[in-house]
Structure 1
């Protein structure tokens, strides 16, 4: 099965989750590459650098963003990413992924234009397949 998604970005500080998702994407051949950032600041710096250096091909097509992380959490990342998204000449689908089932978090995330959907951890294989195939 060919890869339909060239690159996926995981922004999360949970190593076990990162390893699991990376392995699923690799075994099921759902993406050619996976970029991982441990917090929103690392990810934001990557996107800003990619824009500044006209490296749009390195920008992933899909982002899976956790909400609770150190340094810069998912909410702060969304605020800052919103300021630079118009400079990115590429369609990016951003999914908030969290263990929170609090309806306030879900409603808040879904109300943000950047967010394609809210997914609850653990993400099911068929959710990955729907998003990436």
Structure 2
């Protein structure tokens, strides 16, 4: 697989971040950044996604739903208020929740999908195949 574009993992859990980064590396995704909450992610996007550094903007954002400081839904609302990013990143929400209320809160927000944790090779490969056209052998 050619170099996969930059990925941003937004999650407050250190173990989850470690395991997901390890999974990314095993799949050849080496350009990964981590933000510990939605506010950190917004700050990072503001820093790296301006016109002069657009190539540093993540193509894929994996966003936890429940975090302190700013949760995933709050991030998505704030994301809508900022200047658009071109090309827009693919945003996938990750959560342990199966609560219909959580899914309802995501209606009309700029997400490309919702995956339940834990993130697996199969789930990540599906996202990458669907949104970026890369395929992985089993």
Q: TM-score, length-normalised on structure 2?
A: 0.85
Aligned to 1:75: 73
Q: Which of 59, 62, 65 is matched with 2:63 structurally?
A: 65
> Normalising to structure 1: TM-score of the pair?
0.88
| Native 8 Å contact 2:73 2:105 kept in 1 | no
Gaps of 5+ in 2: 129-133
1:9 match? 8
- 1:91 aligned onto 2:88: yes
Cα gap change, 1:55/1:118 in structure 2, threshold over 3 Å: closer, same or farther? same
Distance in 2 between the 1:61 and 1:52 partners?
Answer: 14
In the other structure, the counterpart of 1:127 is 123
Q: Name the CA distance, whole Å, in 1 between partners of 2:62 and 2:83.
A: 16
User: Does the 8 Å CA contact 2:62/2:94 hold for their aligned counterparts?
Assistant: yes
Equivalent pairs, count: 129
User: 2:131: which partner in 1?
Assistant: none
Give the distance between the partners of 2:27 and 2:49, measured in 1 at CA.
30
Distance in 2, Cα, partners of 1:26 & 1:15: 16
1:124 offset after TM fit, Å? 2.3
User: Residue in 2 aligned with 1:25?
Assistant: 24
Which structure's relative contact order is higher, taking Cα pairs within 8 Å and 6+ residues apart?
Answer: 1
- Give 1:85 shift: 4.9
Mind listing any 5+ residue stretches in structure 1 that lack a counterpart? none
Deviation at 1:108, TM superposition (A): 2.6
RMSD in angstroms over aligned alpha carbons? Answer: 1.6
